[in-house]
Amino acid sequence: MAANAPRRVTMSDVARHAGVSRTTVSFVLNDRPGAAIPDETRHRILASIEELGYRPNAGARALAAKRSEWYGLITEIVTAPFAVDVIKGAQDRAWLDRKFLLIAASEGEAAQEAAALDKLLEQRVEGLLYATTWHRAVTLPKAAREVPTVLVNCYDADGELPSVVPDEVTGGHRAAAHLVAAGHERIGFINLDPGIPAAVGRREGYERALREAGITFDEGLVVSGHATADGGYTAACELLDRADRPTALFCGNDRMAMGAYDAIKERGLRIPQDVAVVGYDNQELIAAYLRPKLTTLALPFEAMGAKGVDMLAALAAGQPLDTTQVTVDCPLLERSSV
């Protein structure tokens, strides 16, 4: 089809127009070290490029140079807010190296994922980023081994592929320490489904913060629930109805915190005077719209995306990584719920 497409200007056209050989044009375009091109010639060539509106053909260049200048990113759901941030971080970082980011979605289906992977590999991407919606272990198709691959927000079940994940331990520690610093000693912890990395790591950080503050750990203050507003509500009720109710709640995510808000208000308690609340995830449109605004920890999606490309660049350059698992800090966003 589209055989009517006008022939584009090529390097040969430029060479002819400037009265030099194609090689010379290539040399000035890639300002090749070692090639001595007098300024006069160089400017003549640049002028021809300008005049003819020449634009290098990236595909041809990739073919000849055997380097595509592309990275691939596979994400579960393109529309998820998290994915967008990963994309932004990765894209901006890739742009620095003048690389393009090819984005493909798996939509959570294995077939789609395989197809996306195939497509990406056919484009000869120089590296692959694989991002998930929530921090967990994954197993990639073997095809992913054909090219440097970095996992983002997840890690290889086989422990072979490098990954970049949020630092859940420090996050949990930071949340608890923040509450301790605000004077709280009885801090309820509404954790996520125990067993997932986020729950395990944050609990570790939580316990360590208490230990450092000389507060004895009370197993009864730790409950876990569904990662929903309802789950948070139920768990919060359980904690708040204890005789020695906690004066602060650290919630596994913002939706759970939303449920906790309901439970707290329902009992006529005030936030943060009677019960302080810290969430997790920083889902803007929950955290910023709750009354009072929710203090929460942000998952560093953008930073993880950028770091992932960083690692890819290193791998592609043949440099070995110092660690196979990199963690990125979860910053605390102070609002009004503590």
Partner DNA sequence: GCGCTTTAATAACGCGCGTTAGTGCGATGT
Partner DNA sequence: ACATCGCACTAACGCGCGTTATTAAAGCGC
CA distance 325 to 168: 13
Q: Does 68 bind a copy of itself (CB under 8 A)?
A: yes
Per CB under 7 A, residues contacting DNA are 7-8, 10-12, 15, 19-24, 26-27, 29-30, 32, 35-38, 41, 56-57, 60-61, 63-66
Q: How far apart are the first and last CA of the chain?
A: 64
In angstroms, what CA-CA distances link 119 with 49, 114, 144, 308? 33, 9, 12, 20
Closest contact distance (angstroms) between CB of 313 and a copy of itself is 10
Write down the least CB distance from residue 285 to a copy of itself, Å: 3
Please report which helix (H) or strand (E) contains residue 189, including its range. strand 187-191
Tell me which residue has tokens 């994922």.
Answer: 113
Any idea what the Cα angle at residue 207 is, between residues 202 and 209, rounded to 5°?
Answer: 95
Residue 85 found at the interface with a copy of itself (CB under 8 A): yes
Half-sphere exposure of 287 (CA within 13 A, CB side): 21
Q: In what order do the strands lie in the sheet with 187-191?
A: 222-224, 187-191, 248-251, 276-281, 295-298, 332-333
User: Considering only residues 25, 45, 49, 103, which one is a binding residue for a copy of itself as defined by CB under 8 A?
Assistant: 103
To a copy of itself, the closest distance from the beta carbon of 289 in angstroms equals 6
Stretch that binds a copy of itself, among 98-106, 156-164, 174-182, 232-240 (CB under 8 A): 98-106
Nearer to DNA, 27 or 155 (CB): 27
Among residues 52, 121, 200, 269, the one that binds a copy of itself under rule CB under 8 A: 121
* Binding footprint of a copy of itself on the chain (CB under 8 A): 1-2, 4-5, 8, 55-60, 62-63, 66-68, 78-79, 81, 83-85, 87-88, 91, 100-103, 105, 118-119, 121-124, 126, 284-286, 289, 316-318
